[in-house]
Amino acid sequence: MASVPILNSGESALCPCCGRTLYSRKVDSVNRTLAVSLAGLMLLVPAFTTPIIGVSVAGKYNDATLIDCIMLMINADFYIIAFCVFLFAIAIPSIRIFSAFYLSYKIKCKQLGPSLLTFYRSYHLFDSWTMVHVFFLGVIVSMYKLITLDELSVGSGLISLLLLLFCSTLISITLDQRLIWDLLEEELESQS
């Protein structure tokens, strides 16, 4: 079995047979992930607490935040749907963005240890369960259906939600998972 090459920032390992990229080291992964996750953390509160859309029908105007939508579902006895919206649109994306911030901060400050390895393993559980993009698609479809009403307005919550989705996607792009595994493995070997 061949050894894994040590790559510097921006370098790629290629297959000697077919020439395909096996692995690429992302450029400035830790700082970029730290910046994007910090931006995501700052967007969490406005994305969840400011109005997403407003509808005006027959002279009456009503707008709703994501929290309002969950409360309406609870009041209508749709507990499972309300729980799922809370879990997949608020809780898991929030935990994921906070986790990316915590990981990149700890790595930047060189505070590595066994507990960070456990934390990073749990990060992978949340990585595939974030559903902000699905919720955002549902909002867009709802807006398309409601456009025939008197007036439909986009609230700052929708813009914040869109930016939060963008930050979540950027975290997936900027976070160099192989780098984190390598750093944590080096730290654990040095402690042994």
Q: How confident is the model at residue 4 (pLDDT cuts 50, 70, 90)?
A: low
Strand duo 53-57 + 21-24: pairing: unpaired
Q: What is the mean pLDDT of residues 47-67?
A: 82
pLDDT at 93 over 50: yes
Q: Where are the beta strands (DSSP E) in the chain?
A: 12-14, 21-24, 53-57, 60-64, 151-154
Q: What is the pTM of this model?
A: 0.79
pLDDT tens-digit series, residues 16-44: 788 787 677 788 889 999 999 999 999 99
Question: What are the two backbone dihedrals, phi and then psi, of residue 23, each rounded to the nearest 5 degrees?
Answer: -160, 140
pLDDT, greater one: 9 or 190: 190
